[in-house]
Amino acid sequence: MFVICNNTYAQDIKFGFFMGTNLYQNTKVDTAIYSPTNSYNTYIENEEGKGIINKNIVFNSINSGLILNFSFKKFTFNIEPQYYYQRTTFYFKNPYPTERVIGKRAFRLPIYSTYKFFKNKNSIYGLAGLVFNIEKNWDFQAPGFGYYIGPDQLYEYEYNFGDDHFKGVLYDDYNYWNYVVGFGKKFNRFNYSIRYLNQIKLTKHNILAKTWQFELSVNILLLSYSDFTKKHFLYVD
């Protein structure tokens, strides 16, 4: 119903594509000791008081998809169905040195509004909204450097402690929402924005980790409703 209303009242409706990545992400789990229910291995914080996970990460994801944009005066309403991929490696020293690879593939749906601060059509703008997430996670022990680039067999020089240790800590099976705020600026046909995302408790999704991130998004709007509705006249002298 909302979309139909905008077809009537919007100054313009635009369609395009976008790509993005994590500029910076922080993931923290405050507990000092953690024992997975499906493994005898116990994870102990590397530094006292830091928690078992306190990791700063850059450029660990990519996302791409479509954007549908409804504009009215200084406001726009945006919908961005997108594919999201992330891969992160966590390092543990105690009681045994080990590396865990946590990955995710997700369908995300950012729904947000923007407001231009000035009258210029390429003005700096602020944005705010919500992001819906449906994701699939994988969680395994890294097989080692020699396995990826050398002749080493899988877990040849180390014991495999098993998979899915951090379910309920870093991820679970439930869909969830993030809130998003940020700002952006258009340069020529490219629209750049920096967005801050954090978790919001609206569903059964409930994990121990606290994760927030800054994302860089770039979109280009290729088609416009006005492109098909403007009248064109051929002048002959």
Task: Determine, yes or no, domain membership for 168.
Answer: yes
Q: Is 231 helix (H, G, I), strand (E, B) or coil?
A: coil
**pLDDT score at 179:** 97
Domain at 139, CATH number: 2.40.128
Domain that holds residue 192: 2-229
Q: Which residues in the chain show pLDDT less than 70? A: 1-10, 144-148, 150-157, 225-237
Between CA 126 and CA 131, with CA 129 as vertex, the angle to 5 degrees is: 130
Task: Determine, yes or no, domain membership for 237.
Answer: no
Residue 163 β-bridge partners: none
Task: Determine, yes or no, domain membership for 50.
Answer: yes
Residues 6 or more apart in contact with residue 89 via CB below 8 angstroms: 99, 100, 101, 102, 142
Task: Determine, yes or no, domain membership for 212.
Answer: yes
Smallest CA-to-CA distance from 7 within 70, 75, 62 is with 70
> How many folded domains does the chain comprise?
1
**pLDDT score at 148:** 63
Smallest CA-to-CA distance from 129 within 177, 192, 84 is with 177
**pLDDT score at 221:** 86
Distance CA 194, CA 183 (A): 6
C-alpha neighbours within 13 Å on the C-beta side of residue 186: 15
**pLDDT score at 96:** 83
What does pTM read for this prediction?
0.84
Smallest CA-to-CA distance from 85 within 6, 156, 22 is with 22
Kindly report the backbone phi and psi dihedral angles of residue 113, in degrees, each rounded to the nearest multiple of 5, phi listed first: -115, 155
**pLDDT score at 226:** 65
- Answer for the pair 81, 65: CB distance below 8 angstroms, yes or no: yes
Distance CA 18, CA 230 (A): 26
**pLDDT score at 234:** 40
